[in-house]
């Protein structure tokens, strides 16, 4: 499979097109937030592989993503307790990333309304 050219610039471009998303930082790393809530970020924890992205999703969606495409999605022990999945940017397409960020946006904004 050819390597993707997706990087955090691609993430930023797609993410900022979603309602209420703004550029920020999380733990000193580039991040996108919705109304101050984390949507996605470059992982700061050393357990994540270089070239990864942390994306907020609920535990059920994470389990489905991990089962469907373990070459793209993964989780380390550090992230097990968080509603998030790690994504290998080199293996994701812009279209898949757009869908994933849309899923994360729905998750984060739904949590805000509770």
- For residue range 17-36, what is the model confidence (pLDDT) as tens digits? 999 999 999 999 999 999 99
> Cα separation of 57 and 11, whole Å?
16
Q: Is the dihedral of CA 58, 9, 35, 82 positive or negative?
A: positive
Mean pLDDT (the chain, rounded): 94
Residue 39: CB atoms within 10 Å: 26
Query: Which residue in this structure is represented by tokens 């209420």?
Result: 20
In the DSSP assignment, the letter for residue 107 is H
pLDDT, one tens digit per residue, over 70-86 is 999 999 999 999 999 99
| Alpha carbons 32 and 22: distance in angstroms, whole number | 6
**Tokens matching residue 8:** 């955090």
């Amino acid at each position: 499979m050819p390597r993707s050219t997706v990087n955090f610039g691609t993430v930023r471009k797609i993410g900022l097109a979603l309602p209420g998303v703004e550029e920020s930082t999380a733990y000193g790393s580039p991040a996108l937030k919705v109304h101050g809530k984390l949507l996605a970020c470059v992982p700061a924890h050393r357990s994540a592989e270089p070239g990864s992205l942390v994306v907020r999703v609920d535990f059920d969606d994470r389990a489905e993503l991990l089962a469907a495409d373990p070459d793209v999605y993964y989780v380390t022990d550090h992230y097990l307790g968080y509603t998030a999945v790690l994504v290998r940017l080199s293996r994701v397409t812009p279209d898949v990333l757009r869908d994933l960020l849309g899923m994360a946006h729905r998750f984060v904004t739904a949590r805000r309304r509770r």
